[in-house]
Structure 1
Amino acid sequence: MKKYIYFAANIVMLFALGSCENQLDQLPLSQPTADNFYATPGDFIQARNATYSWAFHGANEYGYANRVLNLSETRSDNLYATTTASREWEGINSFYTSISSNSYIKEAYVSNYKAIFYANQLLEKLDEKGSVIPLPADRAAMAAEAHFLRAFCYFDLIRWFGRVPLIDKTVTAQEAAKIGRTPVADIYNLILSDLQIATTDLPTSYLAADYGRVNKFAAKAFLGLVYMTRSSPTYGIDGSILGLNEWAKGYQQLNDVKTSGLYAFGADYATIFTTEGLTNKENVLTIPYTTGNDVGGNFVIEVGYEPYFTSIGMSQQGSLEARPISTGLVSSFATADKRKIFGIATSYTASGLAYTLPVFKKYIDKTRYGLSRTDWGVDFMVMRYTDVLMLMAECTLHGGGGTQADVDAIMNQVRTRAGIPANAVNTTLSQLFDERRKEFFSEGTRWFDLIRSGDALTIMNNWKTLEDTQKKILTIDKNSLLYPFPLQEMLAAPGLYTQNPGYD
């Protein structure tokens, strides 16, 4: 059983925020409680773990993994997720303009700001009382983790919403209610500052017992992605994409990960998703889950389908309506492509009925099923080594470093592992993104890839033309590239915020 560091935290660090959802999610712990709590090294460890828990696992049986499957994968051209059951994910996939109260959107905002609160408080208490931690290096490393997690959450927020309130210290509800939406450039200043501290002060590795904590090179990989996102085309919206030319900065951070020697390109595609812990050298940044006492994860069933679970002899998982894989994605694979064979179910039999509705199965592993549908012990890879290599190739094609031969070599390495011809020559950006689509499907990266490509609107409108025979998809324009600012925040501070363009 894996060491599960986040829920190992004493739950006392989570009790005080239960009533803050209509208060901009920044209510602090009561001062006496906070002052009394941060008294021992163990207290600081619990506070750190609580920060991880909110940043990665979120609230209400959802977390980062569920979030990217709902808001990135489902939004993208990888799925055609319409239903007659009026599920909330249909509004995401169909580009409804009346989704500001959608629970997935609310969760993204709430969980990130709760994690930011804990990161802010932990940093303040380290300054105030951190001397109870004997070794200065340990104090610096813990602060670096808090800086990383705060940057992680703010980056997640601006990719979904664009401008959001910048809160870099604990504040009262009354103070928070006066903080408007901050320009994205200013939020990036904090993100970069936090990540620079993280890449300097984080350790290079951990023992197996601390698997899942972020290290120096995971922070570098993430920083590389931040530089790349800042450099991508703006589409004329006020989002996380600024059109800056920082591809060389991104390349350098990613190359540091490559040359660290800590990671390796997985020899077998399926093994990447069935091997966990430090033995899996593809794992750069991972969210671990374990089974037992019903504290595992449920992202595995997020884009699943009940008949497929039945076909492999599993109990009901609650995935009554499918989110079918788009025709375009299924048809993009060669017949022999091992990625499709491992990760997509195209035909299966359940209760005597044959099904041909294609659905994702990449993360479904019966051997890691626990006590219920919310108790899967399957880790979620936020970033893996193959991603690092292909992001480097993207930087290269933007003139950020490396050579065309390097790009072609990475493409052919990926294709060889997939069991298809390694025939990449003079790879273009479009071809690289097409390969990323086949490599990372159902890992939550597709929406972000589309936006970075500069072709998101063209690709998504082509998807609409091809897939939307039911005529359920609404207009897809530049405003669709951001989500609406959450309704509960608009109502919590009337007049403080303006809604993102294009939403009701």
Structure 2
Amino acid sequence: MKKALYIFSLLALLTSCKKFLEVQPKLQIDQSVAITDAATAGTAVNGLFNQLGSGNYYGSNFPALSYLSGGDIQWTGSQSDPSEITKHLTSATNGYVQSAWTAIYKTIAQANYILDKVPALNDPLLTPALKNQYLGEAYFIRALAYFDLARGWGGVQLILKPTYASTDNANVPRSSLADTYAQVLKDLDAAQPLVPTTVSRNRVTLRTVQALKARFYLYQKNWALAEQFATSVISDNTNYSLVTPYSAFFANNAVATNESVFELAYTTSNTNGHSTWWLPPALGGRREWAPNDALVALLNNAAIGGNRNALIGQTAPPGNLWYGKLYYRNPLGTDPAYVIRVAELYLIRAEARAYQGNLVGPSSAQSDLNAVRARAGVAPSTAATLTDILTALENERQVEFPFEADRFFNLVRTDRAQTVLNLKDKHLYLFPIPYNETLVDPNLAGNNRNPGYY
């Protein structure tokens, strides 16, 4: 049987006794000829981006773990898996958790294959600059994937080489959270000198790496470096800025605006699943993810949501049901997936400045917070103490990114999730290791599982 066109480095099947990932048959060719020249290297990198944007990763399921866990989104359907997540009763057999975990490791596997094969290629069409770009993008996407695993599941197995045989990458132990984050930084450092300095919203450039580094250092509480890397992007205000009004980055079929540092593009043959779940049936969707009453009230409050109420709409009477409008394009599924926006960098820098004592005045935490508020048509915040500014930033993120993968992870990062979401135990800060993984890999079973999930 032929192997995957953009080979996932975990190649065999999870359904066997070995821990490998299932490959989609329609994407398969012989691995021995998968990456042999410039053309096939380019195909493999395109496949890497497709995997990152797949339905089980940024195309739907991974952000859904954050939406549904964050307390602002209700599940209106009948399936048990998303219902579990909204109620913080997520089990190790949850399908959303399994599919996201698998998709992320498939993405890592694809990156590993590129990093293994591309350096040895000798093709005049694969210029040094293009080769560096492909390698830099693979390092960056692997860094993002491990970052997502770390914030979702904690320390994980670090698979850094391709899997060509059943004995490759066997018996890999879970790494600590610190070591997992260390690998993220190592990959970002490797990517930074390789990627181009030109502007692209859909591919990886220097600014893309700097933006993820800003987020990384925020999670590490390295306030000085979080500020430094956020500033690197914000200061390039010719190319990266808060577009006005808020809806300008997504309304009227807008794509790749100055607001986006990194967004994933989709087409009719490679679709994004968000609109199916957010839109009501009258608009072609199923409306099984919907803003709850509390979020609707916040977004419709002119003093809080401002013009961010463009994110929601309401069906006609007698239903009068509220729904999300961030993903709406016709044909359905051609919306971008937003991975990093400029607004996040302002809020990262605001928090970093606050912790360094730069609270109010020009070029301060307060001024960065108010830049985001001003774009939304909201009055300036008067928060001036560290405690008040941190609370204001938490509240601002809630209405700035309600339909992006932000709310839950940031509440966990700041150790506020238990209080804000009324969680019974902090083991809920992490998702369970999928049950199927614990069956086939002793390094993920027993005491190696995330606490509280049995």
Q: Which band: TM-score by shorter chain?
A: 0.7 to 0.9
Q: Report the Cα distance in structure 2 between the residues aligned to 1:450 and 1:75, rounded to whole angstroms.
A: 10
Question: Which residue type is aligned with residue 310 of structure 2?
Answer: F
Q: Report the Cα distance in structure 1 between the residues aligned to 2:443 and 2:341, rounded to whole angstroms.
A: 42
SS of corresponding position for 2:60: helix
**Partner in structure 1 of residue 161 of structure 2:** 169
Counterpart of 2:13 (choices 17, 20, 32) is 20
**Partner in structure 2 of residue 378 of structure 1:** 335
Which consecutive unaligned segments of at least 5 residues does structure 1 have? 1-9, 232-245, 462-474
Deviations along 1:47-83, one digit per CA (max 9) or x if unpaired, are: 11112221222xxx43314134320011012124366
Spell out the pairing of 1:144-183 with structure 2 (5 A cutoff). 144-171=136-163, 172-183=165-176
Counterpart of 1:342 (choices 310, 316, 319) is 310
Question: Which residue type is aligned with residue 358 of structure 1?
Answer: W
**Partner in structure 2 of residue 392 of structure 1:** 349
Counterpart of 1:362 (choices 311, 320, 326) is 326
Structure 1 pair 289–390 and aligned structure 2 pair: CA distance change class (3 A): same
Q: Report the Cα distance in structure 1 between the residues aligned to 2:103 and 2:309, rounded to whole angstroms.
A: 35
**Partner in structure 1 of residue 436 of structure 2:** 488
Counterpart of 1:223 (choices 203, 209, 213) is 213
**Partner in structure 2 of residue 325 of structure 1:** 291
Deviations along 1:365-397, one digit per CA (max 9) or x if unpaired, are: xxx322xxxx42111211111111111101111
Q: Report the Cα distance in structure 2 between the residues aligned to 1:204 and 1:401, rounded to whole angstroms.
A: 30
Q: Report the Cα distance in structure 2 between the residues aligned to 1:415 and 1:14, rounded to whole angstroms.
A: 44
SS of corresponding position for 2:191: helix
Question: Which residue type is aligned with residue 426 of structure 2?
Answer: K
Spell out the pairing of 1:305-324 with structure 2 (5 A cutoff). 305-306=280-281, 310=282, 314-315=283-284, 317-319=285-287, 322-324=288-290
When normalised by structure 2's length, the TM-score is: 0.87
Q: Report the Cα distance in structure 2 between the residues aligned to 1:329 and 1:17, rounded to whole angstroms.
A: 40
Q: Which moved more, 1:267-276 or 1:32-41?
A: 32-41
Structure 1 pair 360–437 and aligned structure 2 pair: CA distance change class (3 A): same
Q: Report the Cα distance in structure 1 between the residues aligned to 2:248 and 2:188, rounded to whole angstroms.
A: 31
Matched, 1:109 2:66: no
Which consecutive unaligned segments of at least 5 residues does structure 2 have? none
Structure 1 pair 403–221 and aligned structure 2 pair: CA distance change class (3 A): farther
**Partner in structure 1 of residue 65 of structure 2:** 71
Q: Report the Cα distance in structure 1 between the residues aligned to 2:357 and 2:152, rounded to whole angstroms.
A: 26
When normalised by structure 1's length, the TM-score is: 0.79
Deviations along 1:442-480, one digit per CA (max 9) or x if unpaired, are: 12211112122331111011xxxxxxxxxxxxx531100
Q: Report the Cα distance in structure 1 between the residues aligned to 2:134 and 2:49, rounded to whole angstroms.
A: 12
SS of corresponding position for 1:117: helix
Q: Report the Cα distance in structure 2 between the residues aligned to 1:247 and 1:40, rounded to whole angstroms.
A: 43
Deviations along 1:74-104, one digit per CA (max 9) or x if unpaired, are: 1012124366x2431011111115x212121
Query: Residues 339 and 439 of structure 1 are in contact (CA less than 8 Å); yes or no, is this contact kept in structure 2?
Result: no
SS of corresponding position for 2:5: helix
Give the superposition deviation at 1:184.
Answer: 1.8
Higher relative contact order (CA 8 A, sep 6+): 1
Matched, 1:90 2:83: yes
Structure 1 pair 433–15 and aligned structure 2 pair: CA distance change class (3 A): closer
Counterpart of 2:366 (choices 400, 408, 415) is 408
Q: Report the Cα distance in structure 2 between the residues aligned to 1:490 and 1:77, rounded to whole angstroms.
A: 28
Identical counterparts, % of pairs: 25
Q: Report the Cα distance in structure 1 between the residues aligned to 2:183 and 2:98, rounded to whole angstroms.
A: 23
Q: In angstroms, what is the RMSD of aligned CA positions? A: 2.8
